[in-house]
Amino acid sequence: MKAVPEGRAILCDVTEFGRIPEIVAQTEVDHGPVNVLINNAGYGHEGVLEESPLEEMRRQFDVNVFGAVAVAKAFLPRFRERRRGFIVNVTSMGGMITMPGIAYYCGSKFALQGISLVMRAEMAPFGVHVTALCPGSFCTDWAGRSMVCSERTIADYDALFDPIRTARQEKSGKQLGDPERLAEAVLTLVESDNPPPQLLMGSDALGFVSDRIAALQQEIEAWKALTVSTDG
């Protein structure tokens, strides 16, 4: 039986941006070079856009975007100098599609999705892989105690949003996605010599994103004449 490496936990708040480089440096001193970064820190925010305070958006982006980028940036020079490494930035199907009530979350994941694609292009010449991992709904606590929910204050949104919140709460802990199978899939991903720019995880992510791509293509075709009319 193959021995399982011992895990080591290091407490780190990814929004303490100044501490991250020293934590990464000390980790490599204590345990040797890191070859794979799974950038998974993040949380969900739920709330109607008009009702959600900007401070909640700022916190969402601090964790989901700035925190993830700060951790990646601490590893980039090390991976570049060693001419090897793999960064998996965990985004979401919410970084490729949108749903009412999670504007701040989708915005943060769209941002990380785009940054990941640029990071991939910039690091490719140095033999460093970057993939955005885009999970659908998995059986975690994302929609439970981990989620920040803005207070409901405007009755006009009740008919649209209340059923969405209720459905999400009822589904929490019963999602189709299996976190252990996702972990196994990530191990397969990081062993690949030619990983994709982004990788959907879960049948719901596959369905929703495929539908969005098809609708986007229809939108492009429907408005093509106006699109090209701006050429000089």
CA dist list (Å): 47 to 99, 157, 160: 11, 10, 12
DSSP state of 92: -
* Burial 30-52, CB ≥16 within 10 A → b, else e: eeeebebbebebbebbbbbeeeb
Q: Which of 159, 158, 142 is nearest to 94 (CA)?
A: 142
Q: Is 104 a catalytic residue?
A: no
Residue of 43, 104, 105, 157 marked catalytic = 105
Whole-angstrom Cα distance, residue 188 to residue 182? 10
Integer Cα distance of 88 and 86 in angstroms: 7
**Strand partners of residue 87:** 37, 130
CA torsion sign for 24, 29, 33, 35 is negative
State which H helix or E strand residue 200 sits in.
strand 198-201
Burial (0-12, 13-18, 19+ Cβ within 10 Å), 156: exposed
Q: Are 139 and 174 in contact (CB under 8 A)?
A: yes
What 8-state DSSP symbol labels residue 230? T
Q: Which amino acids are annotated catalytic?
A: 105
